[in-house]
């Protein structure tokens, strides 16, 4: 028997009430999707990085929620401002798949060196947001019979426009630091997305602003032992990467905290995820992966994670599956040859710049 697709109140979906609230997709592997949360990450390291992520949330339900992420960024100290540029693409479904979101953005960042062991970056994102809806998929409440189901003609007249095109902007900043011996590095950042809260309502009778999203995050990397001492640049070292990210958007506050570990290219991680506000839930994320250096300063990294729901109301939904693929090409420059470093030379450096702050170590 064909399943009936039911939306009880159209105002919940399309903003006929001013209190409509919504949230962006939340990736469990947020350290593998940094540009999604903060545009200041664009060009943080010299070279080129391409990141692909896919998330399938609640696959046990008849309509699961899928989100796709792609980003490409390049750090080149020959650029004006010595920062970086990037491109980001996100797409996802909502409203049990009847609403599609597509976002394509350009990222620019400026680099601010404070010292040989600390730098800052400020970034901006300018993007095009498209939201589309298939009105034929909806069954409205006035078309339903309590006994026979969908047998009446709905009085709802859908708008002529089923696609919205909106400008969207975000800003962010980060501070990156490392100690003199090379045994510790870290990043602290803050960002605001949907800065001007674009109106995403399909109906002219009311507004549905896309809620502004506030993000704060921090992570650290340190080595617990290596052949050359405590140096996070040593691939033989066991490196530990604890982190935390906090988000607030549309009445929902989300906190994620945990750590990843890597040795000999093998990655393992465990994270707690909690959401608080209009509704609450909790989950544990377990992650594993592998990084393969296929050429000098070039590598490919694959990770998989699973969200195990801890909240009783969401148990049985199938949790969430997430995969990430990251390609790194260090030392690549298209603006004036070899990329030069804007930071000081630090112990344990590698690549063209020789700077600890220019080389990703996790």
- Give dist(CA 106, CA 87) in Å, integer: 5
pLDDT score of 354: 42
Q: What are phi and psi of 88, to 5 degrees?
A: -135, 140
pLDDT at residue 240, rounded to an integer: 94
Q: In this predicted structure, what is the pLDDT of residue 355?
A: 58
What does the domain layout of the chain look like in residue ranges?
A: 10-358
Q: How far, CA to CA in Å, does 17 sit from each of 24, 188, 206?
A: 19, 37, 7
d(CA 41, CA 352): 20
Structure tokens at 21: 């609230």
The rounded distance, in Å, linking the Cα atoms of 273 and 264 is: 28
Token pair in block for residue 168: 């969207």
- pTM comes to 0.85
Rg (alpha carbons) of the chain, rounded to whole number: 23
Fold of 10-358: Porin (2.40.160)
For the chain, percent helix, then strand, then coil, each to nearest 5?
5, 50, 45
Q: What backbone torsions phi and psi does residue 143 show, to the nearest 5 degrees?
A: -95, 0
State residue 330's pLDDT score: 82
Report the pLDDT value the prediction gives residue 197, as an integer from 0 to 100: 95
**Residue 318, pLDDT score:** 86
Instruction: Please identify every stretch of the chain with a pLDDT value under 70, giving residue numbers as ranges.
Output: 1-22, 95-97, 136-137, 155, 225-236, 278, 312, 334-356
Helix (H, G, I), strand (E, B), or coil: what is residue 211? coil
């Amino acid at each position: 028997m064909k399943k009936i697709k039911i939306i009880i109140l159209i105002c919940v979906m399309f903003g006929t009430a001013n209190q409509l609230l919504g949230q962006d997709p939340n990736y469990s592997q947020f350290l593998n999707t940094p540009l999604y949360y903060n545009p200041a990450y664009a060009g943080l390291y010299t070279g080129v990085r391409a990141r692909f992520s896919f998330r399938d949330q609640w696959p046990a339900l008849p309509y699961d929620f899928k989100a796709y992420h792609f980003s490409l960024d390049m750090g080149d100290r020959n650029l004006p401002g010595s920062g970086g540029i990037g491109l980001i693409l996100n797409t996802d479904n909502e409203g049990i798949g009847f609403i599609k979101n597509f976002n394509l953005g350009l990222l620019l960042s400026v680099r601010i060196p404070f010292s040989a062991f600390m730098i800052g970056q400020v970034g901006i994102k300018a993007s095009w947001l498209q939201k589309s809806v298939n009105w034929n998929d909806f069954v409205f409440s006035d078309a339903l019979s309590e006994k026979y189901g969908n047998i009446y003609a709905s009085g709802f007249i859908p708008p002529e426009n089923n696609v919205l095109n909106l400008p969207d902007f975000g800003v962010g900043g980060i501070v990156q630091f490392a100690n003199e011996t090379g045994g510790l590095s870290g990043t602290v950042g803050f960002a605001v997305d949907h800065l001007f809260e674009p109106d995403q309502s399909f109906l002219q009778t009311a507004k549905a602003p896309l809620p502004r999203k506030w993000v704060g995050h921090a992570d650290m990397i340190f080595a617990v032992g290596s052949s050359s001492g405590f140096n996070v640049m040593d691939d033989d070292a066991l490196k530990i990467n604890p982190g935390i990210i906090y988000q607030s958007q549309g009445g929902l506050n989300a906190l994620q905290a945990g750590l990843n570990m890597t040795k000999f290219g093998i990655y393992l991680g465990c994270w707690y995820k909690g959401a608080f506000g209009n509704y609450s839930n909790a989950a544990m994320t377990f992650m594993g992966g592998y990084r393969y250096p296929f050429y000098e300063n070039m590598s490919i990294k694959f990770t998989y994670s699973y969200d195990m729901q801890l909240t009783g109301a969401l148990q049985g939904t199938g949790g969430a599956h997430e995969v990430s693929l990251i390609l790194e090409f260090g030392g690549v420059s298209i603006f004036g040859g070899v990329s030069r470093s804007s930071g000081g030379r630090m112990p344990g450096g590698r690549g063209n710049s020789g700077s600890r702050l220019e080389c990703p170590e996790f």
